[in-house]
Amino acid sequence: MQIEGKNAIRQALNGETTITKIFIDKNFLTRKDEIISLAKEKKIKIEFLPKAILDKKSKTDHHQGYIAETVEFKYSSVEAIIKKAKENEQLPFIVILDGIEDPHNLGAIIRTCECAGVHGIIIPNDRACQINETVVRTSTGAISEMAIAKVVNIKRAIEELKENDIWVFGAEIGGNNIYKQNLNIPLAIVIGSEGKGIHKTVLSSCDGVITLPLMGKVNSLNASVACGIVIFETLRQRLS
């Protein structure tokens, strides 16, 4: 897998992502460069190439003169995410994505979750976007700091969370007003897919449904936008 762009690679170098090699625009060879310094410090091989070759290697068209080769993304587990919250002596704060297919949405959600202190994200193994170069780039490096568990069955993952005394709320229309719902609890939020929302079988497993009040004629929000509003309302309540 590749990581492209200066910010994403810098974040990866400072995180837990294993980078095997970095390709850098040869025009950067003689200037003082943070990426070059970090790579040398970590003894990561650097190869300086003409921009035209980097353009051909790029999968996102946004390499900015930097492309890093990494080992495949290492997924976490639901158990590890729960353990992470307990070790930090914090109320668990988890996001479950039920079928997000757009890699830009997934990358944006990862970035927002990391900023809000979410302990981990759960995604399904099938019929959903997996971690790829576009997701990595869109997350602008946040993926290096976010635990992501890939599960075969979302419903079973929800049951595991409940067994650990974590409340699970689906973010969907027809529920309780989010601004009147207590979210300062051990919590997992389910965000549905861009077109279909949360599957009925998954929604039926939730402890409740929370809804964002909408005042316009359009009755839905982009998945990453809705997720951002929900998790930052959760954070606001926890900091109040």
Q: Any idea what the CATH number is for the domain that residue 146 is in?
A: 3.40.1280.10
- 111 & 219 share domain: yes
- 120 & 7 share domain: no
Say if residues 81 and 118 touch (Cβ distance below 8 Å): no
Q: What are phi and psi of 21, to 5 degrees?
A: -165, 150
- 53 & 143 share domain: no
Mean pLDDT check: name the lowest of 4-8, 41-45, 46-50, 122-126: 4-8
The tens digit of pLDDT for each residue in 215-227 reads 888 777 899 999 9
- 60 & 98 share domain: no
- 104 & 163 share domain: yes
Say if residues 118 and 147 touch (Cβ distance below 8 Å): no
Contacts of 83 (CB under 8 A, 6+ apart): none
Residues in the chain: 240
- 209 & 235 share domain: yes
**Where residue 2 falls among pLDDT bands split at 50, 70, 90?**
confident
Say if residues 190 and 171 touch (Cβ distance below 8 Å): yes
What's the chain's average pLDDT? 92
- 180 & 153 share domain: yes
Distance of CA 203 to the CA centre of its chain: 21
Structural domains counted in the chain? 2
To 5 degrees, how large is the angle CA 55–CA 56–CA 60?
65
Owning domain of residue 57:
2-70
User: What pLDDT is recorded for position 93?
Assistant: 98
Integer angstrom CA distances of residue 34 from 6, 8, 22, 29, 152: 9, 13, 13, 12, 40
Higher pLDDT, 240 or 185: 185
Say if residues 22 and 44 touch (Cβ distance below 8 Å): yes
Residue ending a domain, among 70, 105, 128, is: 70
- 92 & 207 share domain: yes
Query: In the predicted model, what is the mean pLDDT of residues 17-46?
Result: 89
**Where residue 84 falls among pLDDT bands split at 50, 70, 90?**
very high
The tens digit of pLDDT for each residue in 112-159 reads 999 999 999 999 998 899 888 888 888 877 888 899 999 999 999 999
Q: How many angstroms separate the CA atoms of 240 and 237, rounded?
A: 5
CB atoms closer than 10 angstroms to residue 120: 24
Query: In the predicted model, what is the mean pLDDT of residues 90-99?
Result: 97
User: What pLDDT is recorded for position 17?
Assistant: 77
Q: How many angstroms separate the CA atoms of 189 and 129, rounded?
A: 18
Say if residues 196 and 157 touch (Cβ distance below 8 Å): no
Residue ending a domain, among 21, 42, 70, is: 70
CB atoms closer than 10 angstroms to residue 239: 8
- 25 & 133 share domain: no
- 112 & 158 share domain: yes
